[in-house]
Structure 1
Amino acid sequence: MTQSSPPRHAVVIGGSLAGLLAAAVLAEHATVTIIDADSLPDGPVPRRGLPQARHVHLLWSGGARAIEEILPGITDDWTAAGAFRRSLPTDLVTKTAQGWLRRHEEMQFNISCSRDLLDSVVRSRVIGLAGVTTLQQSRVMSLEGSATRITGVRVDTPEEENRLVTADIVVDASGRGSRARAWLEALGPIGLRQAEVDSGLVYATRIFEAPAGAHASGFPIINVQSDPRVPVPGQTATIVPIEGGRWQATLSGTRGGQPTADPDEFIPFAKGVRDPIVGELLEGKKPLTDVAVTQGTANRRVYFEKADLPDGFFAVGDSVATFNPLYGQGMTVAAQGLLAVRALLRAKGLGHPGIGREAQRVIAPQVAIAWDLATSQDILYPGATGMKPRAGAGLLNGYIDRLMTGALTNESLAAALLQVITMNRPPTYWLRPAMVWEVLRASDRGALKAAPLTTAERAVGGLDRAPGSAQPEHPGKPAGAVEPPAAVEPLDGAEPVDDADPVGQAR
């Protein structure tokens, strides 16, 4: 009679989105213990260890599709709980650095809701999986093992200090406040390198009661982006309709132009960005919260994949890299990386020698793409610190600028723009020969001069309908009309935090 081997066990440090998805992936191969310093709530309520959840979060279609692969049916679960699946650019009124984007029929989508709701739905699904348990109000103090092999963690729990939890693999998903670098270096030198680019960004959020009729009419996301080509602090303003008949409004500013927690300054700041529409829409609306402010938003990357990691360990999510939250990359990068880990584990198994190091390497490509997109723009703002752009970055930025200018009037360029921004395609998608030809011919002739809100949306928002204050989305068509879609291919707090990912901006 053959004796079966004991079941494998995995430890995931951190119960935010990246940790939950890691647990779901590992649950196919092992029992899983999620260790978190918080009490993990049953519903969509704030968590002490996730203070950035107070700000706008959008999950791009690239991330939503990855999570749907890991947790089938999760999109329906989100919408049943009150989230909105928003068509892009149909349900988006955005002023990019180049101008107002037209509202074509659906090319991509995002999931819009509070971060608390988004996480709670995933948490309910993952904690309900067979073999997944949690160790809450518990803090990991160190990794157990050696410089060649991790065998578990030491944890302080409410009942016991320095408790040993053994594991075949340990995944660090503890977020921006991760201590994994120090833990690993305590076991022996492994050559971990870190990079940072900091634009000095601060963002501030306040939730308002949405006006009557906004929910029924499907009021769009409103977003005014900064322009990194202009040597002034980059300031943005965004409104995202979320569950419960609310508008979540987030402002941001880089070094020298940051928003504050002063409620009297919130709407004036929103009116002072490149277009005043967000401030005008918020004027007269009932605030439901104070102003929440977050600093410590630097892009920071630890190159785990280049280090001589001990076996039995890898890191995911904000533990690996944090991005300026305005680009909306964190959740999607984590989800796509873990989808790649799932494929690796299904191919080789959890017991394969060096599986942790291989997992770290398959996560790296998505991290690198997001890192290059974010840092190449952030370093342009006044007072930004960190690594300088690579040679040739100016030429590439010029090409992207021309592409984005063309996207204002050319539907196929708009579709290509959204393919990359929503993280369904890598930036090399923009360099296909047919695309280069279209970009070289791009022009902003016929670009919109004002926000493409319909007459009904302006009425719901309470905007002044003075002559010249509105413009149809497409010249020669009634306001609100859309054209057929293009043919496209299918903070640093005291507690560890994870996956800051408020609304993205293209550049």
Structure 2
Amino acid sequence: MATTPPPRPRVLILGGGLSGTLAAAALAPHSDSIDIVERHALPDTPQPRRGLPQARHAHMLWAGGADAIESLLPGTIDMWLRAGAHRVPLPNGMISLSPGGWYRRCWPEAQYLISAGRDLVDWAVRTQVLALPGVRLLAEAEPVRLLGTRTRVTGATIRHPDGTEKCLEADLVIDATGRSSQAPAWLAELGVPAVPETVVDAGVTYASRRYKAPADTTGWPVINIQADARLAVPGTAGTILPIEGDTWMVSLSGTRGGEPTSDETQFAAFASQMRSPLIAEYLARAEPLGQVTVARNTTNRRRHYERTRVEGFIALGDSATALNPLYGHGMSAAAQGARALRDLAANSTITSKGFARRAQRAVARPAAAAWLLAVGQDAAFPHATGKKPNLADRLTSRYINRLITTAGSDFTVVEALTDVMTLQASGRVLARPRILLAAIRGPRLPALSGPALTAAEEAVLLGRPDAPPTL
């Protein structure tokens, strides 16, 4: 007589955004019951939803994140592209002014990024995850506390819109509720010691607006004007991302003392005052769509859950490591964390002793790499608060600035920096002998006097709709 196999672990995921759905994709092969609790209703199409205000701002999904999502959910990149997203080759598909000058665009492709609206990115992932066996969405239900003891989390209590509450038991609880996560307080209620935190805040404010792209801008590059933290003034930056629907998502930002506002009449004026007026010049050729949206919740906050000693609980994405969106690493770090969770679950049982702690350390590694990229820049801005750079940080920053300056004319350095920026390689590659030698040697060519534009890109500035298509 055949024996009945034991039931597989139950998983409860708090938060139905990108981090939560990717966690479900990671664990679906290892669980017959995954409940995703989301406080808001989720649309069936790539439409705006409540609880995701950051969707109104520019999002770059770097290659490291896109590849991680594709490994979890094969076919996702194709879904994005068929829906109008853009695959942008790097570095030649980006017009970028770094603190070291304009990048050249004559190099071969080193990496890529996916340029799309955040609603589209989330929709493609969510659609596939909710079709997986055993995955169930509990929408319009709010988690209000964790269940368990000071050593093990065993579930969560959720509240429905009518005020009724229900306790959901689980073998593993994943907090993916984002920046506003209440997990530290919930764990404290169970007697878990306070979760250590590190905070760095440059006081960045974002202002974003969609624009109808000018005619004949097929294959349009990303335009990125970076701030220079070495200057004794607030850092201002801006990005034009080509997204679906022949539109541009334009985000401008400024650190404390130099913030943009929601005033529509000042949006282009702010862009014109950055280190280059290029974005403002292109906006003069585009048609604004809708209002300017402002966001101020951009603090880098790292909760060190990997140092806690509690079983049955994992924090993923912004719940554990929230990053300044300026560098575009939030989605990619969360995706790589979910992939690390999948790989660990493939080699050990979810309910095994120590699984959650090992998993928390695994998901923390890619987040830590993105953290270093963000705070290494933000901590250097005037009026930044939180953890201050020490001598080692300052020396590292000087070395990185040297590499950025050298990258203007050295593909070896461009490739290494691009690999690190896209989270395809760790910062250790920047210490390889050939990179060190390139830094010592410095730039091989004079700095460019302006952006390296194609004929078609120049034609848009001149208002010539009959220009040849952009390459």
- Sort the TM-score into its range (normalised by shorter chain): over 0.9
The answer for the alignment partner of 1:92 in structure 2 is 94
- Under a length normalisation based on structure 2, what TM-score does the superposition of the two structures give? 0.96
1:224 and 2:225 are equivalent in the alignment: yes
User: Aligned partners of 1:395, 1:358: CA distance in 2, in Å?
Assistant: 32
Amino acid at match of 1:294: A
Aligned match of 1:340: 340
Which residue type is aligned with residue 406 of structure 1?
Answer: T
Deviation at 1:161, TM superposition (A): 1.6
Which residues of 2 match residues 263-302 of structure 1 at below 5 A? 263-302=264-303
Counterpart in the other structure of 1:500? none
Q: Distance in 2 between matches of 1:169 and 1:428?
A: 34
Residue of structure 2 equivalent to 1:356: 356
Question: For the Cα contact (< 8 Å) 1:12–1:171, is it kept in 2?
Answer: yes
User: Do structure 1's residue 52 and structure 2's residue 64 form an aligned pair?
Assistant: no
Structure 1: how far apart are the matches of 2:140 and 2:241?
Answer: 32
Unaligned runs of at least 5 residues, structure 2 = 465-469
1:426 has 2:429 as partner:
no
Paired with 1:260 and 1:55, the residues of 2 have a C-alpha distance of 14
Listed as ranges, the gaps of 5+ residues in structure 1 are 465-479, 482-507
Distance 2:215 2:104 in 1: 26
Give the SS at the match of 1:287. strand
How far 1:78 sits from its partner (Å)?
A: 0.9
Q: Which secondary structure does the structure 1 equivalent of 2:344 belong to?
A: helix
- Corresponding residue for residue 303 of structure 1: 304
Per the TM alignment, residue 348 of structure 1 is displaced from its structure 2 partner at its CA by 0.6
The one-letter code matched in structure 2 to 1:345 is A
Q: Contact 2:208–2:250 (CA<8 Å) still a contact in 1?
A: yes
The offset of 1:238, in angstroms, is 1.2
Q: Deviations over 1:59-97 (max 9, x none)?
A: 000111111111111111110111111111121100001
Q: Secondary structure at the match of 1:38?
A: coil
CA contact (8 A) 2:214 2:285 kept: no
The code of the aligned residue for 2:227 comes to: S
SS in 1 for 2:417: helix
Q: Percent identity?
A: 44
Offset of 1:383 from its aligned partner?
Answer: 1.1
**Superposition pairs for residues 66-465 of structure 1, below 5 Å?**
66-103=68-105, 104-158=107-161, 161-215=164-218, 218-309=219-310, 311-443=311-443, 445-462=445-462
Cα distance in 2 between the residues matched to 1:461 and 1:4: 67
Q: What whole-Å deviation, never above 9, does each CA across 1:408-467 have from its counterpart, x for those lacking one?
A: 001111111101011101111100112111111112632211111112112134469xxx
Correspondence for 1:492: none
Is the contact between residue 281 and residue 462 of structure 1 (CA under 8 Å) also seen in structure 2? no
2:91 counterpart letter in structure 1: P
Residue type at the aligned position of 1:361: R
Aligned counterpart in structure 2 of residue 62 of structure 1, from 49, 61, 64:
64
> Residue 42 of structure 2 corresponds to which residue in structure 1?
40
Find the aligned partners of 2:102 and 2:274 in 1 and give their Cα distance.
14
Larger mean CA deviation between 436-445 and 108-117 belongs to 436-445
CA–CA distance in structure 1, aligned partners of residues 121 and 400 of structure 2 = 32
* Alpha-carbon distance in 1 for matches of 2:414, 2:255: 27
Q: Distance in 1 between matches of 2:397 and 2:197?
A: 25
Give the stretch that moved more between structures: 228-237 or 382-391.
Answer: 382-391
| C-alpha distance in structure 1 between counterparts of 2:163 and 2:380, whole Å | 49
Question: How big is the shift at 1:150?
Answer: 1.4
**Helix, strand or coil: the match of 2:356?**
helix
Q: Who is 1:491 aligned against?
A: none
Q: Is the 8 A contact 1:405 1:444 kept in 2?
A: no
Instruction: Select between 347-356 and 250-259 the one with higher mean Cα deviation.
Output: 347-356
In the comparison of the two structures, how many residue pairs are matched? 464
TM-score for both structures, normalised by structure 1: 0.89
Shift of 1:284: 4.3
Partner Cα distance (2:128, 2:30) in 1: 17
**Cα distance between partner residues in 1 of 2:145 and 2:180:** 14
Distance 2:252 2:463 in 1: 20
Shift of 1:191: 3.7
- 1:323-369 CA-to-partner distances (Å, cap 9, x unmatched) read 11111111111111111111111001212112111110111221222
Secondary structure of the residue that 2:46 maps to in structure 1? Answer: coil
Q: Structure 1 residue 134: deviation in Å?
A: 0.3
Please state how far the C-alpha of 1:159 moved relative to its aligned partner. 5.6
Q: Look up the SS of the partner of 2:164 in the other structure.
A: coil
* Most deviating of 254-263 and 409-418: 409-418
3-state SS in 2 of match to 1:252 = strand
Conserved? CA contact 2:285–2:463, under 8 Å? no
The amino acid across from 2:447 in the alignment is: A
Distance 1:57 1:97 in 2: 21
CA contact (8 A) 1:87 1:109 kept: yes
Give secondary structure in 1 for the equivalent of 2:271.
helix
- Preserved contact between residue 280 and residue 463 of structure 1 (Cα < 8 Å): no
Greater strand share, 1 or 2?
2
